[in-house]
Amino acid sequence: MKSITTLILSLLLTSISLALPSQTIKNQELLKNAQKIIFLGDSITYSGQYVVNFDTWLTLTQPNKKYTLINLGLSSETISGLSEKNHARGRFPRPDLHERLDRILTKTKPDLIFACYGMNCGIYLPSDPTRTKAFQKGITKLKKKAEATGAKIIFITPPFFDSSRNKNKHYYTDLLSHYSKWLVAQRQKGWNVIDLNTHMTKSIQLKRKTNPKFTYQKDAVHPNPEGHWNMTQPILAWFGDQASANAKSPKEMLTQLGSTTEIHQLISLRSRILRDAWLMETKHNRPGVTKGLPINQATQKAQELTNKIKTSR
């Protein structure tokens, strides 16, 4: 029965692919040519729910291809290299991706990188040309370093900042929109950019027509599980699977793809094990991060889970 389901899914995806625009087919080639995939970002990526949703989708829609997906998001991190004077009550400055980037690229040797930065990069202050330039410079530097290793990179525009939950930072919503528009404009130069910010903004505006107090982010920054699914949707759509992107939840996507929540849970566990191990292996300098297993032990446990996922799906 599983082989028949896999065959039907493969035929369905093939038929969808043949009807896709040329840009979407190019986007799909990035996945077809990748084996090692990493996600970079701040605490929103570190929490990992949208990463797990994507990993689940990838596992189910590409059942015959072997991927290793590593979440290397780090809480508090920026790509701008900026930090508030009293960040974390003075205990430590915000980590800078570029402090650890060379170690990440050398040790993980990724084929494909997803990067989602911006939320922390303006350090929650009003728009300022110097800080904007630091964000843009950090993004450009990441792209150059990644591509110098042969990796492809996909940028995800920063999530929505919910100023209704933090009215003292009302200006920050527009600041992140400005950062996002700059990133989207880089598509004209051939950059790969998924516009999460616009998608998330429109979704929230739509929901507030019937529920004015609706939010994905009680603290204005960190999305809840529903918000992480909203983050997942434009990524799946970017790769041409609009049917999965239109699902109302990960559970609905799983049902559409003929799977169960057990798979999602196993992939979530595998993701956490690999995240913690690789964050330790690449030697970040942020205090308070959960220590992971040594890489060889983490890899073994991840493989055991992969085997279980294969037999369960």
pTM for this prediction: 0.93
Residues 312/266, Cβ–Cβ less than 8 Å: yes
306 domain residue, yes or no: yes
Q: Is residue 174 part of a domain?
A: yes
Tens-place pLDDT, residues 51-61: 999 999 999 99
CA 197-203-204 angle, to 5 degrees, is 90
Q: Tokens 């989207």 label which residue?
A: 184
In a domain, 13, yes or no: no
What does the mean pLDDT of the chain come to?
94
In a domain, 15, yes or no: no
For residue 178, is it within any domain? yes
- What is the reported pLDDT for 64? 87
**Distance in angstroms (rounded) separating the CA atoms of residues 243 and 252:** 11
Query: Residue 217 falls within a domain, yes or no?
Result: yes
Share of the chain above pLDDT 90, in %: 90
> Is 194 inside a domain boundary?
yes
For 160-198, the pLDDT digits (tens) are 999 999 999 999 999 999 999 999 999 999 999 999 999
Distance between CA 200 and CA 206 in Å, rounded? Answer: 10
Q: In sequence order, which residues have a C-beta less than 8 Å from that of residue 90 and are 6 or more positions away?
A: none
CATH code for the domain of 86: 3.40.50.1110
Q: pLDDT digit string (tens) for 233-287? A: 999 999 999 999 999 999 999 999 999 999 999 999 999 999 999 999 999 999 9
Provide the domain limits for residue 191. Answer: 2-7+35-312
pLDDT, one tens digit per residue, over 25-51 is 999 999 999 999 999 999 999 999 999
In the predicted model, is pLDDT for residue 200 greater than 90? Answer: yes
Assess if residue 162 is contained within a domain.
Answer: yes
| b/e 232-247 (16+ beta carbons within 10 angstroms → b) | bbbbbbbbbbeebbeb
Q: State yes or no: pLDDT of 16 exceeds 50.
A: no
**237-189-72-34 Cα dihedral, nearest 10 degrees:** 70
**How many domains would you assign to the chain?**
1
